[in-house]
Amino acid sequence: MILGKNSIAGAWSAEGNVVFKTFNPKLDQENPISFVEATPGEIQRAVTAAWEAFKIFRNMPGEKRAAFLRAIADEILALDQALLDAYTSESGLPQGRAIGERGRTVGQLRSFADLVSKEDWRGNTFDAAEPERKPLPKDDLRKTMIPLGPVVVFGASNFPLAYSTAGGDTASALAAGCPVIVKSHPMHAGTSELVASAIVRAAERTGMPKGVFSNINGGIQAGVDLVTHPKVKAVGFTGSLAGGRALYDHAAKREEPIPVFAEMGSINPVIVTPDALSKRSGEIAKTYAGSICLGTGQFCTNPGLLLTLKDANTGAFVQDLAQQTVALEPQVMLHPNIKRGYDSKESSVTSQSGVQLIGKSEGALKPNYAPAVIATVSGAEFLANPKLHQEVFGPFSLVVQAKDETELLAIIEGLEGQLTGTLIAEENDNLDLAGIIEALQNRVGRVIFNGVPTGVEVCAAMQHGGPYPASTDSRFTAVGVHSIKRWVRPVSYQSFPKALLPNHLKG
């Protein structure tokens, strides 16, 4: 049962008097439960408890933190249909997606459990003493990683499970030994509360300090209060550029600045070569129609920009892509606000000079359902107009037709930072693929060859994050086991007797 309360260090709490409801976009109506926003006092309690918990949690053996993470995974699965119902009613996403995302969430928790059940994830580094070295002896030095402190995680609107309450940020921070305070996403506060209850049960079952986790309902001010609290030491965020940048600015202005890992917007350019088009135009159109509309286009890796060289095949490809895209059944968006944002950005782009609308889903759509849109523009117009570079969050893609390879490269080099860049080409392509890849890799975090950017594998070699504004710190990934590096810092021990070293540095 969803209570509509905050979860503060293991206890339900609802001291405030500001309430809100979540919204079922499919039914176009509010969900019944009222959620109470946390008061400044409740936020203070959550952070204080997290700080006290940190002193215990950071020193627990990795195997204990691993048991906690595994118990969270089990408790999430035990929520069963109640969780799937909350998820679908608060996001409009289908049950199949809920099940898939739950699997990903559980898988992430378990992969971090595996990671920290041994201590080699800390990148332990050893320098042996050289007492006879001239002119000065060398001391024994051993370096490891220790956690930063309490971490605030902001739930993402588009992934109510995998990037939210017990998502990758929370899993990696807990794995590192950092207590977590989640600011739940107001669009899926019920899903967040259920997951929070699972985390609290797991914490109790595995003997964690109570302050190890809290779940806060609230708006912008609650987020700012959390990010600016002196005992908060890092922030994870997935969402809009405006939101991520605002949090980054607040964190940078603190007396003690703290790192903010904000994974923000991206248009995920896809370069399609003439050779690829001449050989498999239909297949590319079909694959990309699916990728553009996946999850109603609400993936951060959604391909919002297709970049081709204008030639005899381009016109037919654009038409085909538009037909295949509008042929797909329109889907509902996460929330009326998201739908409004989509309409506004889509019309802002398609009304720019030189932009030609090629296809748009036809007929009357139910409220909150999004028409898929394919538009096209010349390379010159795209280069000249930064408004065409903005993300249109939804099932939209702009096909840019460059007049030659030089213009193509100029467009790539002029792009803002991106999460991904994709190259659709023949292996023995007539285009200079090396040059394109070189340009692309300097603007993105992940380069894909003959695939789609949607679908972010959870694995060690994954980089999810890219140059600003794709993320605020391109040196870290938000997905995969390396994402734990965001929440730790190195500490060296010099000339230590073995008995006083942490166990993993005694070797």
Q: What is the CA radius of gyration of the chain?
A: 24
Stretch that binds a copy of itself, among 198-206, 252-260, 328-336, 338-346 (CB under 8 A): 252-260
DSSP per-residue codes, 244-289: HHHHHHHHHHSSS---EEEE-----EEEE-HHHHHHHHHHHHHHHH
Q: Which one of residues 455, 503, 506, 507 is an interface residue with a copy of itself (CB under 8 A)?
A: 455
Contact yes or no for 75/83 (Cβ under 8 A): no
Q: Decide: is 146 part of the binding site for a copy of itself (CB under 8 A).
A: yes
Q: Is 434 in the site for a copy of itself (CB under 8 A)?
A: yes
State the Cα–Cα distance between residues 213 and 153, nearest whole angstrom.
Answer: 11
Only segment of 9-17, 299-307, 373-381, 429-437 that touches a copy of itself (CB under 8 A): 429-437
The nearest distance, CB 484 to a copy of itself, in angstroms, is 12
Stretch (H or E) spanning 198: helix 189-205
The residue (of 58 and 286) whose beta carbon lies closer to a copy of itself is: 58
Rounded to an integer, what distance in angstroms lies between the CA atom of residue 412 and that of residue 425?
16
Beta carbon of residue 142, minimum distance to a copy of itself (angstroms, whole number)? 6
Residue 300 bears catalytic tag: yes
Q: Compute the least distance from the CB of residue 455 to a copy of itself, in Å.
A: 7
Verify binding: residue 449, a copy of itself, rule CB under 8 A: yes
DSSP 8-class letter at 158:
S
How far is 468 from 477, CA to CA, in rounded Å?
A: 13
- Sequence-ordered list of residues with C-beta below 8 angstroms from that of 34, at least 6 positions apart, any chain: 4, 19, 20, 21
Task: Return the number of the residue (135 or 363) whose C-beta is nearest a copy of itself.
Answer: 135
Closest to 408 (Cα-Cα) out of 313, 268, 309: 309
Residue 475 in the binding site for a copy of itself (CB under 8 A): yes
Judged by CB under 8 A, the residue of 110, 286, 360, 485 near a copy of itself is 485
Q: Is there binding between residue 172 and a copy of itself (CB under 8 A)?
A: no
Nearer to a copy of itself, 58 or 280 (CB): 58
Q: How many helices (H) and strands (E) does the chain have?
A: 13, 21
User: Which residue in 242, 252, 316, 327 binds a copy of itself (CB under 8 A)?
Assistant: 252
Find the distance separating the first CA and the last CA of the chain, reported in whole Å: 49
Annotated catalytic residue, options 263, 346, 391, 407: 263
Single out the residue of 259, 308, 316, 327 in contact with a copy of itself (rule: CB under 8 A). 259
Query: Which region among 86-94, 367-375, 381-389, 442-450 touches a copy of itself (by CB under 8 A)?
Result: 442-450
Instruction: Verify binding: residue 438, a copy of itself, rule CB under 8 A.
Output: yes
Stretch that binds a copy of itself, among 11-19, 247-255, 331-339, 344-352 (CB under 8 A): 247-255
Which member of 30, 80, 204, 249 binds a copy of itself (CB under 8 A)? 249
Q: Which of 441, 503, 506, 507 binds a copy of itself (CB under 8 A)?
A: 441
In the bound state with a copy of itself, the residue whose beta carbon lies nearer, of 167 and 445, is 445
Tell me how far CA of residue 259 lies from CA of 175, 179, 211, in angstroms. 18, 16, 21
Could you give phi then psi for residue 267, rounded to 5 degrees?
-105, -5
DSSP bridge pairs for 216:
183
The H-or-E segment that residue 347 falls in is: helix 336-350
The b-or-e profile of 265-276 (16+ CB within 10 A means b, else e) is: bbbbbbbbbbbb
The 3 state secondary structure assigned to 352-377 is: CCCCEEEEECCCCCCCCEECCEEEEE
Residue 393, SS3? Answer: coil
In three state form, how does the secondary structure of 124-138 look?
CEEECCECCCCCCCE
Based on the shown chain and the rule CB under 8 A, indicate whether residue 127 belongs to the binding site for a copy of itself.
yes
Mark the segment that binds a copy of itself (CB under 8 A) among 107-115, 131-139, 172-180, 266-274: 131-139
Q: Which stretch binds a copy of itself (CB under 8 A): 38-46, 303-311, 392-400, 438-446?
A: 438-446
Considering only 444, 454, 478, 484, the residue that binds a copy of itself (CB under 8 A) is 444
d(CA 73, CA 80): 12
Maximum alpha-carbon separation in the chain? 84
Q: Which of 21, 64, 143, 345 binds a copy of itself (CB under 8 A)?
A: 143
- Min dist CB 240 to a copy of itself, Å, is 16
Which residues are marked as active site?
Answer: 263, 300
| Residues in contact with a copy of itself by the rule CB under 8 A | 58-59, 125-127, 136, 138-139, 141-143, 146, 148, 248-249, 252-253, 256-257, 259, 417, 427, 433-434, 437-438, 441-442, 444-451, 455, 457, 459-463, 465, 467-469, 472-477, 482, 485, 488-497, 499-500
